[in-house]
Structure 1
Amino acid sequence: MKPSTEKRLLQYARSNLKVISFALLCLLIAIGLDLAGPFIAKSVIDNHIVGVQAEWAQVADDESGTVIFQNKHYKRVDRIDSDDQIASYHTLVQSNRKYYFIDRQIPVNSQIERDDDGNWLASYDGEQQVVTGEQLSAGDLIHFFRPEIQPIAFLLITYLILIIISAAFTYLKTYLLQIYANRIIVRIRQDLYAKMHELPMQFFVDRPAGKILARITNDTEAIKELYVNVLATFFNAIIYMGGILFALFLLNTRLAMICLLAIPILFLWIKFYQKYAGKYNRVILSVNSSINASINESIQTMPIIQAFRRTKERQDEFEELNHRHYRYQRQLVRLESFTTYNLLGLLRGAALLLFIWFFGNGVLTGQGLITTGVLYAFADYLGRLFEPMEMLIHQLPQLEQARVSADRVFEMLDLDGEAVDDKEIPRINGHVRFDQVSFAYEADDYILHDLSFNVEPGESVAFVGHTGSGKSSIMNLLLRFYDQQKGRIFLDQYNSQEPSRQQVRQHINIVLQDPFIFTGTVLSNITLNDPKITREKAIKALKTVGADQFIEKLPLKYDQPVGENGADFSTGQRQLLSFARALAFDPAILILDEATASIDTETEGLIQTAISILAEGRTMLIIAHRLSTIQHADQIIVMNKGKMIEQGTHDELLAQKANYYQMFKMQQVGLAEQIG
């Protein structure tokens, strides 16, 4: 049983636990320092700003922390030392935006008002009592705040330092997670690209190139966003929420417990979103792959599309895919609009109502009294609680897209393939033998039937026959693009299925009818960046096949840049480059698949010379429609419907006056008509 997508993503994430552990430690420190802010603010408010509204004692000495008012020394009761001599007690009270210094101890939240006789009345909890004292002016009040300036400055500087340290740890955490995430994506892309080389050829036949490309590029990019942004955001949000809830519990357990209910609600909402968003994202990514495939095919076939005036039809096909993509994107947007922002507004509103109800009803303390600092801290933390929730909500679309992309990537990684094995094996002599070989691309639909033939080292063997006779299938089996269902194929003493596919191809090269030229330079197209092929060896191969005749005319000669598929070169020139490539790699067996079918007569002369050079000391297997190009082959095998119907030299087959004779005669007549 294969592990889930989430577990496999986690396995990639665990590749370097030291880095991620240190990054998470930085995250914890940064969040802890950040969450210390409201507690510092609470201390500033309660102890040093609102804290001056407290009981004061008149003391005899002018000590540190005392206040001089009307030539007398006063000190806050909560700061009185055991050796202080107290003359009297007073209370500083704020009432209706005015401050009073009362000559006795009364509750600090008392209301001060005058009665009809001009006396001051202190009202508290339904009781009134006559008091005496002074109404403080702004100048008087500043005396009581003067001792608080230094501790407030100290706390503010401490808070600033904590912010700076938190920012440093946040930067370090972000940097480490970003670098770590990109390393993970490098590994996934490497694994995916390596898997692509292990997959059988049928995989590429059944799927357009654009769809495969989408998995390696688009899907891995979506997974990159998962590691770079989504997971980092989720880690940050979860730890941040945990820290905030811990702080809320320190302030008030009952309200914190109610706030804790937001977590399961958020979890259930996320599960609901995942259920439907995953389905929509799968369709969107599948259609996006089809769009890539359609664009890729249109680019590759643009000359045909324009020549046959099929632009409108291709546009209609593309528009159908594009509109389907839009329909599912619209459904996904509806889901996101309903589940994400509505959820956040609902939870925020519910929390605000609870906050107002709790503090409005005065149930947080036994006396119904709450300090301004606690009120500020709780409001701050409650507001901060929704910041990580908002981060989680906003990352849900990317999370689901990444999960679906990961499903598609792992689906490809789970396909059966063969590990690449490039270990060198001794060079073969070029002896090829097919022994009762039968082969089908699809089950029971055989293309080759009980085929047997023998090619001695150094021989040139040509395969001829009508389209669909099985000629190219023989080459596909020899190169092990596919494996036969029945019979055996021998390369010297090796059964071709015993070495790895890469080991078989070490000594076999192929020249196609339409050779592929890679982006790079002329020289890199010969060496294919193989360090075993030196610059001198590559240039010698080019000169040997006659390609130097046009390369020497290029501005940079052998270092001339080459565009995609060698568009700047003619078909014949590209074919000469492919022959030089084959010569540079010096294979024991060379396959020519219609190598002269698409070139002009003049270039064909150069190609035939190149073939003669390549044939020296190696086995040549040639697929040809032009019978005039294979007359000197050591043997010619005539194929029909997957069976060998004739075999012999050119002269022997003509003497039989059978199928080969008729084919040759028809080509000669056609050539004579062209000349005439």
Structure 2
Amino acid sequence: MTTGKRLTKYALTYKKIIITALLMLTISVVTDLAGPFIAKNIIDQHILGIEGTWYETNNSSRAVEYEGKFYKREKYISQSEKKGKPIRILQVGARFVFINQEIQFDGKRKVKEGKLYIRKDKRTEGYPVKVLSGSQLLAFYQPEIPIIFKLLLLYFGLLLISAFFQYGERFFLQKSANRIIQSMREEVFRQIQCLPIKYFDNLPAGKVVARITNDTEAIRELYVTVLATFFTSTIYITGIYAALFILNVKLAAICLLLLPILYVWTLIYRKYASKYNRMIRSRNSDINAVLNESIQGMSIIQAFNQEGATKKEFEKLNHEHFTYQNKLLSLNSLTSHNLVGILRNLTFTAFIWYFGVQALNPANMISLGMLYAFVDYINRLFQPVQGIVNQLANLEQALVAGERVFKLLDEPGVNVSKEQIPRFKGNVIFEHVSFGYKDDEYVLKNIDFEAEQGQTIALVGHTGSGKSSVMNLLFRFYDCQKGKILIDGKDIKTIPRQTLRNHMGIVLQDPYLFTGTIASNVSLNDPTITRERVEKALKDVGAEKVFKNLEEGFDEPVIEKGSTLSSGQRQLISFARALAFNPAILILDEATSSIDTETEAIIQEAMHVLKNGRTTFIIAHRLSTIRNADQILVLDRGVIVEKGTHDELMSSKGKYYQMYQLQQGGTNQAG
């Protein structure tokens, strides 16, 4: 399905609101476009209509008195009323003259020595006339003034109706647009939560944020501005062409040439604008990524004096963004006012030519009201045309942004499961597990071990040996390519990820804290975690001693990432968080490596109490912290090279022994 069709599908979710808006728009357009017809009627029938045939009458109703006699326009004489002698009132230059008879034909007019001469082709006729004064002329207009006033009120009333429905149309279109974008952002956010961890390995956070904020905002412009303009313009153009065909078929047909010109120009524009917009959106994401990374790592940037290098990287991306923006600006400049100006001039040239030819034949001359209506409609025609052309840039931006958003939505994810299963006992078995982050590049090779309920399993090894990968597989952040992992005899691949993690807890080396309080970071605002349970977890890990001097205690505010807290305090909160959820399997990923000795002693003391009945995995950096582990697994380049208790491994004097001696030696030397 194309991006355009998918965006349309989103719009159809609120089709009732959009249809209501379009109906209001149609009413607005019809009432607005009725104006020139009313103006034409006022000019032709009531202002220039004075030149029609008048008849002498005895009925003074709607009649005009002139030199003791009453005269009435033909259109106001009823069938039962007797017509008298016909007369004419004609305009010659700036003057109006009274002719006490009907004229033979009309043509070029000229007044000389009290006579009106009318010339047509080679014929000339003369008529005695009287020039009307201003008051006399006004008297002849007097029957038209009430009707003109009523028509003006109707014109003004239609304008008010048009304005009201135009407001309603814009309100409902923007309301539907805001709802569509709200729904889309929620769907994108849900999708991000469903994506596997590996998706984020190569995608900076700034780029993901750009998809949710900048790209969806560009799509919002599509629904709020672009589609509103396109709908409005299409209905206006249709209405204007309908009015033009009613007035004059030939000229309306000439104006139809605008549509293929506009269509071809749109195709040319989109060919180049699409390319430029893709580069602009891409660079915008790159800029967001650099900004996010720079802000997160500002302490490192300043500590290592890398401000200059970071600035150059940002300026390079910013310059590329600027370059493509300028290219798009040049393209937009060619299409907006320039294109519309060319089309307007071509149309008016055809308009002048057509009416010039018509004027050569007096019999085919059109009325001033018709001329006014055509000029008004042609002027109105170019407003929606310019609106469409000016929105082509926003249309392309929205389509490119939509393509990027849908690409994210199309990524294979896993639906969040609400399935509940009984709490694990905690028996874990790895059966010949092999795993690689990339195909055929295994970081774990034939891992085989068993952890029984309540045991503490320690994983040790040099950096890159595969310790964290074992935990990633157990949590199903990734799935192994070979072998299988069993919990209580059940393959974890058959258990939904969220269901699996309901009974597992993890404490990372660098814990992540959210904006809120100490207590909210322990419960993560889970309604099933009571305040009492939060406080018990904090007390069990010894946090009460560490946080006792805080003014608000466990309700002390925590800002993003807990940057105002020490690493030991953050780790205690993270540890309490894991315990509050009462996991059957607890994973400590080098949880004590960045903690001072006093805090470590507090955690170690709590662990002895809490690990009963809970299977605990410890990724250890300091080997002294795992001496009491039930089983120690020594990994080297993805392979378990040794396993056993501390005493067993020390007595075998293998790799573990060497590592332990090296650490102890370093400690003693440092002492």
TM-score normalised over the length of structure 2: 0.97
- Select 1:55's aligned residue among 50, 53, 56: 53
Q: Call closer, same or farther: CA 1:601–1:109 in 2, change over 3 Å.
A: farther
- Select 1:223's aligned residue among 219, 243, 258: 219
Are 1:92 and 1:108, in contact at CA under 8 Å, matched by a contact in 2? no
Match of 1:159 in 2: 155
Question: Mean alpha-carbon deviation: is it higher for 411-420 or for 237-246?
Answer: 411-420
* Residues 246-645 of structure 1: pairs in structure 2 closer than 5 A: 246-362=242-358, 367-645=363-641
Are 1:434 and 1:454, in contact at CA under 8 Å, matched by a contact in 2? yes
Query: Cα offset for 1:126?
Result: 4.8
1:101-128 deviation per Cα after TM superposition (whole angstroms, max 9, x unaligned):
111112566523115xx54434455533
- Select 2:86's aligned residue among 89, 92, 95: 89
Mapped partners of 1:340, 1:303: distance in 2: 47
Match of 1:5 in 2: 3
| Residue identity matched to 2:181 | I
Query: Cα offset for 1:363?
Result: 6.7
Match of 1:38 in 2: 36
CA RMSD of aligned residues (A): 1.6
| Residue identity matched to 2:667 | L
Q: Does 1:99 align with 2:96?
A: yes
Q: Call closer, same or farther: CA 1:554–1:367 in 2, change over 3 Å.
A: farther
Match of 2:109 in 1: 111
Query: Cα offset for 1:129?
Result: 2.2
Mapped partners of 2:157, 2:522: distance in 1: 62
SS at 1:195 equivalent = helix
Query: Cα offset for 1:658?
Result: 1.2
1:368-402 deviation per Cα after TM superposition (whole angstroms, max 9, x unaligned):
21111111011000000000011011101110011
SS at 2:84 equivalent = strand
Number of positions where the alignment pairs a residue of Structure 1 with one of Structure 2 = 670
Are 2:92 and 2:109, in contact at CA under 8 Å, matched by a contact in 1? yes
Mapped partners of 1:636, 1:482: distance in 2: 23
Q: Call closer, same or farther: CA 1:16–1:267 in 2, change over 3 Å.
A: same
- Select 2:22's aligned residue among 12, 21, 24: 24
1:170-202 deviation per Cα after TM superposition (whole angstroms, max 9, x unaligned):
111111111111111122212212221222222
Q: Does 1:74 align with 2:71?
A: yes
Question: Mean alpha-carbon deviation: is it higher for 374-383 or for 80-89?
Answer: 80-89
| Residue identity matched to 1:442 | K
Are 1:510 and 1:590, in contact at CA under 8 Å, matched by a contact in 2? yes
Mapped partners of 1:194, 1:554: distance in 2: 37
| Residue identity matched to 2:24 | C
SS at 1:639 equivalent = strand
SS at 1:461 equivalent = strand
Query: Cα offset for 1:464?
Result: 0.5
Mapped partners of 1:286, 1:364: distance in 2: 61
Question: Mean alpha-carbon deviation: is it higher for 134-143 or for 71-80?
Answer: 71-80
Q: Call closer, same or farther: CA 1:362–1:212 in 2, change over 3 Å.
A: same
Are 1:53 and 1:108, in contact at CA under 8 Å, matched by a contact in 2? no
Mapped partners of 1:168, 1:561: distance in 2: 50
Match of 1:15 in 2: 13
Mapped partners of 2:407, 2:158: distance in 1: 47
Mapped partners of 1:241, 1:136: distance in 2: 44
| Residue identity matched to 1:329 | Q
| Residue identity matched to 1:66 | A
| Residue identity matched to 2:34 | A
- Select 1:664's aligned residue among 645, 660, 663: 660
Are 1:30 and 1:169, in contact at CA under 8 Å, matched by a contact in 2? yes
Mapped partners of 2:479, 2:383: distance in 1: 59
| Residue identity matched to 1:32 | V
Mapped partners of 1:422, 1:645: distance in 2: 40
Q: Call closer, same or farther: CA 1:119–1:207 in 2, change over 3 Å.
A: closer
SS at 2:55 equivalent = strand
Give the % identical residues.
50
Query: Cα offset for 1:538?
Result: 1.4
Mapped partners of 2:608, 2:361: distance in 1: 102
Question: Mean alpha-carbon deviation: is it higher for 351-360 or for 14-23?
Answer: 14-23
- Select 1:199's aligned residue among 195, 201, 218: 195
Query: Cα offset for 1:547?
Result: 2.0
Query: Cα offset for 1:607?
Result: 2.2
Question: Mean alpha-carbon deviation: is it higher for 145-154 or for 77-86?
Answer: 77-86
SS at 2:363 equivalent = coil
Mapped partners of 1:521, 1:108: distance in 2: 93
Mapped partners of 2:660, 2:248: distance in 1: 99
Mapped partners of 2:32, 2:546: distance in 1: 70
Are 2:88 and 2:100, in contact at CA under 8 Å, matched by a contact in 1? yes
Mapped partners of 2:6, 2:638: distance in 1: 46
SS at 2:391 equivalent = helix
Are 2:106 and 2:120, in contact at CA under 8 Å, matched by a contact in 1? no
Mapped partners of 1:415, 1:635: distance in 2: 40
Are 2:109 and 2:116, in contact at CA under 8 Å, matched by a contact in 1? no
Q: Specify every segment of 5 or more residues in structure 1 that has no aligned partner in the other structure, as ranges.
A: none
Query: Cα offset for 1:366?
Result: 8.2
| Residue identity matched to 1:9 | L
Q: Specify every segment of 5 or more residues in structure 2 that has no aligned partner in the other structure, as ranges.
A: none
SS at 1:105 equivalent = coil
Mapped partners of 1:109, 1:609: distance in 2: 115
Mapped partners of 1:456, 1:119: distance in 2: 125
Are 1:93 and 1:108, in contact at CA under 8 Å, matched by a contact in 2? no
Query: Cα offset for 1:639?
Result: 0.8
| Residue identity matched to 2:159 | I
SS at 1:129 equivalent = strand
Mapped partners of 2:180, 2:532: distance in 1: 40
Mapped partners of 1:359, 1:263: distance in 2: 22
Mapped partners of 2:278, 2:33: distance in 1: 40
Are 1:588 and 1:619, in contact at CA under 8 Å, matched by a contact in 2? yes
Question: Mean alpha-carbon deviation: is it higher for 297-306 or for 354-363?
Answer: 354-363
Are 2:40 and 2:372, in contact at CA under 8 Å, matched by a contact in 1? yes
SS at 1:466 equivalent = coil
Mapped partners of 1:119, 1:390: distance in 2: 52
Mapped partners of 1:511, 1:283: distance in 2: 41
Mapped partners of 1:614, 1:134: distance in 2: 119
Query: Cα offset for 1:550?
Result: 4.3
1:518-568 deviation per Cα after TM superposition (whole angstroms, max 9, x unaligned):
012222211112111122221222222222334443333333322111111
| Residue identity matched to 1:51 | G
SS at 1:175 equivalent = helix
- Select 1:652's aligned residue among 648, 652, 658: 648
* Residues 226-245 of structure 1: pairs in structure 2 closer than 5 A: 226-245=222-241
Mapped partners of 2:253, 2:33: distance in 1: 19
